[in-house]
Every structure is written in structure tokens, then in C-alpha cells.
Amino acid sequence: MLAPSERLKEINNLFLRKAFAVNYLSVKQYLSEYFDVSNYSERSFSRDLNALRELVGLRYPSLEEESGDLIRYSRARNCFYYIRQDISAFPSFSEKELNQLASVIDLNQHLFTDGAGQGIVNKLRAISLENSLSAHQQVNHWPIIQLIKDGERSGSENIKPLLEAIAAKNVIEFDYQSLSKSAQSKPYMGIPLLIKEYNNGWYTGWYVLLQEINPMEKIHQTHINSLRLFALDRMKELHVSKHSCRLRFAPEFNPSDYFKHTLGILRNNLLVPELKPAHVSVEIHQDNWILEYLSQYPLHFSQKMMNHPSKKEYVLISWKLELNVELESFLMQYAAELKVLSPSSLQSSIQLKLREAMERYES
């Protein structure tokens, strides 16, 4: 016999399974198949839903106050769902259990290959940190950490204080040293919003997205194009500031959108506040290997493919992307496989770089 409390945990776990449509019939079938529960009524399901609403509301009070009911019904999909994928009525593991498990794996790295052990340790500790943030009673309506590549990262010692500052919406102060050998470290003050892990060529590590603030102002209106990106390994003397202020968020504001139209992480948003993505198009011969690769692994979610209107042996691929050094690097890397058609400024830049490269080989 499945106790009511255990039944709630099972239904909560069903909410966390993306492919499972939570409704009365699916839950009834699940309980019958896996726990031999034969008398689960629609009234019991309704009571369980209300109990989960209460539990998840207790865990995330600020999110409930901001967004309303945390369990909603989709008529189109005929199922109930949590409004965010990273919330749960129950923590799957306690912080102590997660840290103990991470420590055990850390001590047995020899059982793993290619840094996989350290990657698991990083993710377990990240989960533990995320779970502990509910103590602040402040939950952001966006995920505040994005894990991409496994392994150790320089600057990871700053992750925990930054996560705490994000959850508590604290102002932080730090000194930042740019990559230039002649540059002096510079002090900054701001409110961190999101931590991103990124790996692409030389730009490898942890980064924090931050709204810089003016200490003379108490309320700051934030915008995607006013944010700054800092590498964690170049942030020194990080600490919570005594200065207090608050950010005023637009309803549609989501820090993750900072990277929405970029290939990589580098943007020119501070130099060009009105920066907008461009229509980037290339042509590729239909027999070229990279065409199959891009078909299976799109470069960006905006990618579109179509037959060339005048060259039957070619295919056109387009993206909606901001023009930056990482996009140019990608196009240069595969310059022998594709031809840039638009925008003309990007085509000219690639042509210039190719000519300069040829001149170096000819000299």
C-alpha cells in the first residue's frame, strides 16, 4: 500500500519527467502499474494536486506571489504542469546527501575517464547550491546557472558567493583584470543575474551576467542590452556590498535572452545599445559534408535551409545572428566548405581576412 505522502512524491516526480503528461488517467494508470493501486479516484487526484500546490508554494513563496498558481493546466496538451522545469515540491536529495555523494565521487576520480568524474561532482554541487537558494525566499523566474561542459573551471571558487548574491539580489563589488597585459584592474559594482558556463576555443570558463549600477541611484531599470559579461577567473576581491538598491524588471525580461541571437558569448551591446541580429546567409554545395552536419546539428535555433533558387546543386542556409568575432571565426574555419552571401559587410570582412591569410602564405 502506497502511503499518501509517498504518493505525492511519486506524482511530483511525474511532473519532473518532461515526456509524462500528468492528468488523472495517466496518474491512475501509473499508480496501478507500478504500485498496484486499484482504487485511485478522481477526487483523490484533485486532493493530491491541491496538496502539491500548497507544498510547492511553501518552497517558492516569492515565485508564487509573482506568478500565481505554480501548477497549471494545459487544455491543448490535456495535462497539468509546473510553470518552471527547475521547481519541485520535494528536494530529491538533501544538501548534505548531495555533498556527500559529490565527495565520494571526487575521491574516486580514477574510476572515471576524460574528466567525467569532475563533471559529475560539479553538477551535484551545482544542484546542492540551487536547492539551498530557497532559504532566501527569493526565486528568480529564470534558471540562474547553465552547465554545458564537464570538468574544472578556473574561477569556480566564485560560483557559490555569486549564486547567493543572485538569489538574495545583493549588490556585489569586485576588481576585474582584463586579458591585456598592460591593463590595470578596475573596480565594478552591480547585481549579478545569471552564471553561464561556456566552452568555445579560447573563451573557456565560467561567466557571470551582471547589471552594473550607479551607487547614487536606489532603483535601476534593467534591459538586456545594458548587461555586462565578466569572466569569473578574472574577478578578484569579490564581496557583497553594503550599498543596497533594487532592479526594476520588465515583465518579459529574461537574462538568458542576452545570448539569444549570438554564436557564443561575445556581444557589442555596450558600444551599440540598439544592436540587432542580422540575416546571415551562406550557400553550400549539396555534396559537401558540412551540409549533413548542419542538418543534424543546427548552428543556432534560428537556422533555416532551402534549395538555392538559381543553382540547383546548392543549398542556402540562413541564421538570425548578431555579427561578432565568434561568428566570423566559425565562417573562417569552414571557408572552404561554404560561401557567405549576406550581409554584405560580413562577406567583405571574410574576404578581407582570406586575402590577408593568402598574403601571409605567399610572402
Residue 310 lies in a domain: yes
Question: pLDDT tens per residue, the chain (363 residues)?
Answer: 688 888 998 999 899 887 889 999 999 999 998 888 989 999 999 999 999 999 999 888 888 888 899 999 999 999 999 998 888 898 765 556 566 667 777 777 666 655 566 666 666 666 666 656 555 545 566 666 665 554 455 677 888 899 889 888 899 999 998 877 777 889 999 999 998 877 654 455 778 899 998 888 888 888 888 899 999 989 999 999 988 888 888 888 889 899 999 998 889 888 888 889 999 999 999 999 999 999 999 999 999 999 999 999 999 999 999 999 999 999 999 999 999 999 999 999 999 999 999 999 987
Which domain range does residue 9 map to? 4-82
Q: What is the pLDDT of residue 359?
A: 93
Residue 240 lies in a domain: yes
CA 38 – CA 95 distance, rounded (Å): 36
Q: Which of 39, 59, 82 is the last residue of a domain?
A: 82
Contacts from 212-217 at CB under 8 Å and sequence distance 24+? 212/188, 213/171, 213/189, 213/243, 213/245, 215/189, 215/243, 215/245, 217/245
Cell of 198: 561556456
Find out whether 190 and 174 touch, Cβ atoms under 8 Å.
no
One-letter identity of residue 54: E
Strands lying side by side in the sheet with 278-285: 304-307, 314-321, 278-285, 339-342
Q: What is the pLDDT of residue 201?
A: 44
Find out whether 316 and 282 touch, Cβ atoms under 8 Å.
yes
Q: What is the pLDDT of residue 151?
A: 47
H runs (alpha helix) in 74-136: 95-107, 116-132
Q: Looking at the structure, do residues 215 and 287 belong to the same domain, yes or no? A: no
Residue 46 lies in a domain: yes
b/e per residue 249-274 (b: at least 16 CB within 10 A): beeeebbeebbebbbbbbbebeeeee
Q: Looking at the structure, do residues 288 and 202 belong to the same domain, yes or no? A: no
pTM: 0.59
Cell of 257: 535572452
Cell of 126: 551545482
Q: Looking at the structure, do residues 285 and 245 belong to the same domain, yes or no? A: no
Q: Which of 62, 82, 102 is the last residue of a domain?
A: 82
Q: Which helix (H) or strand (E) holds 35?
A: helix 24-35
